[in-house]
Structure 1
């Protein structure tokens, strides 16, 4: 079960980059509106489905407060950072920075839950992050140090921190025996509403772009990227821990690159093949014969 969840996260999130790019390629509409419509659709679909299936569990006021914090961290402000960072830095550097979620989660798990990092984490993370850097080495090498580069890197790092903090809140929910689908649904709803408020306060419109490409991207990002992807990811966080689950962030750029090879003519080079080998080696170090990943496979 854990392996299936892990592969689902990698494959789904590896394809959402194409949808985000397709959405950004359509003129009109604000970044805030794009994030808002993605998560308002996802949250309403999830809440309706859970209500119909009688699986929407009651939460305390304290739980709802944590859902609000989770929504702002991982279903709102972090995406705002990533979308804006794309205007300052290339996607290769942004992916490298996001891969630091592995280390963010390890550190935050130790700070908030006193969970010591796995002995495999450091060598696996070193291989994985080194592999991502090799994959995007030509992009990174072409990025001149500038104020724009620092702004973009800072926003990406801030967005990754928000993602990691959202992981910690999800882990808190699951340790308190709260249903992951229920908490995710409310967190997405609150994150979407927070984005709506922030967008309106900035004087921007929430009007969607009535374009087949833009609307199709919203639908894919809402249902697959959010409902299924985040549901699988946060379930995985509860089952194998935030540090190990976050290692998937090192793998989904490979899926995105495969799609880019087919649809955008991405050219593989020696550094890219080296990076691929390092990332696969990192996965072997992290997960080969790891009892926690195989736990409950028969469940």
Structure 2
């Protein structure tokens, strides 16, 4: 197996498993405090890794506002919503809801970066969202509109919005030639600080659960989910480009649903299976570069690859 394939597999398996591992963070410690712990540890470890490799540790002055936006949105609000949604839903379902991020990234890239929005992307995004709604259908039917499924879906849409806007800040930072790893490390630390402030304002106690499940999951999420996986993905990004590396986002929800089926007794239905197929297929359309698509007509207009 090539090194690129190993990076692919590592990134997919780690990020696909983190959705389930978050379950072990819930209960004793408030989610905002757990997120603060996670990214304080992850940001510190990433800075230590950069120091060992003698890479830049501090972003330039002109990039700090993008780092702050990334920290507040990606490593704070995004994960707080994810943790809360995971307390209401099977982790695999949360992961599939997170796949809507792909469409939000494309739309926000059009708004904030001026990137073109192709008709096939709109079609793929629509199909993907329809698939996610179909997956949530059985949960909403079983528990009603007042149950956790609808609230969990709403929380994940909030998480996707935060993450997507944070991604736009990362894109702006990269355009401004801000060192990516240093910006990520400080973004994590600022996200941790933001969560700590929010917890303090809410009067949430900074408790710690010394149990093996909590400590083990915290270390896994910080070391593997927030440092190793990012390093693998960014390395892959540099080697094969964003279009091919982006297919990681298609595979992660599938892995998460398999894990949820094995360990959370997630019950499949024909509608749910069809929804997963549409969600994956829609994301594939969104992620596929124009050069790999045939010429076709959409609403009477020819789409040129």
TM-score (norm 1): 0.81
Q: How far 1:180 moved relative to its partner?
A: 1.5
Aligned to 1:113: 113
9, 12, 16: which is aligned to 1:10?
12
CA distance in 1, matches of 2:144, 2:194: 35
Q: Is the 8 A contact 1:184 1:231 kept in 2?
A: no
Q: Specify the alignment match of 1:297 in structure 2.
A: none
Call closer, same or farther: CA 1:221–1:196 in 2, change over 3 Å: same
In the alignment, does 2:211 pair up with 1:211?
yes
Gaps of 5+ in 1: 293-299
- Give the Å deviation of 1:46: 0.5
Residue-by-residue CA offset, 1:128-176 (whole Å, 9 max, x unaligned)? 3333334443213324224976654443322211100111111112112
Change (3 A) 1:152 1:279: closer
CA deviations 1:105-139 (Å, max 9, x no partner) are 11110111100124432232233333333444321
| Distance in 1 (alpha carbons) for counterparts of 2:264 and 2:55 | 42
Unaligned runs of 5+ in 2: 293-305
2:187 corresponds to 1:171 = no
State the alpha-carbon separation in 1 of the partners of residues 213 and 89 from structure 2.
24
Q: How does 1:1-299 map to 2 (within 5 A)?
A: 8-24=10-26, 27-86=27-86, 94-95=94-95, 97-146=97-146, 152-232=152-232, 239-240=241-242, 248-282=248-282, 284-286=284-286
Distance 1:149 1:270 in 2: 18
For 2:47 and 2:254, locate their aligned partners in 1 and report how far apart those are by CA, in whole Å: 32
Q: 1:234 to 1:134 in 2, by over 3 A?
A: farther
1:135 and 1:275 in contact (8 A); partners too: yes
On the 8 A contact 2:25/2:214 being kept in 1, the answer is yes
Higher mean alpha-carbon deviation, 62-71 vs 227-236, is at 227-236
Answer yes or no: is the 8 Å Cα contact 1:92–1:136 preserved in 2: no
Aligned length: 288
* Distance in 1 separating the partners of 2:63 and 2:245: 23
Q: Give the equivalent residue in structure 1 for 2:302.
A: none
- Supply the distance in 2 between the matched residues of 1:174 and 1:237 (Cα, whole angstroms): 13
Task: Report the alpha carbon displacement of residue 234 of structure 1 after superposing the two structures with TM.
Answer: 6.0
Query: Within 2, Cα distance between the matches of 1:212 and 1:89?
Result: 23
For the residues of structure 2 that align with 1:89 and 1:267, how far apart are their CA atoms? 12
User: Which range moved further: 257-266 or 40-49?
Assistant: 257-266
Contact 2:92 2:260 in 1 (8 A): no
Q: Which moved more, 1:159-168 or 1:89-98?
A: 89-98
CA shift in 2, pair 1:16/1:183, >3 Å: same
Q: Could you say what secondary structure the match of 1:142 adopts?
A: helix
28-37 or 257-266: which moved more? Answer: 257-266
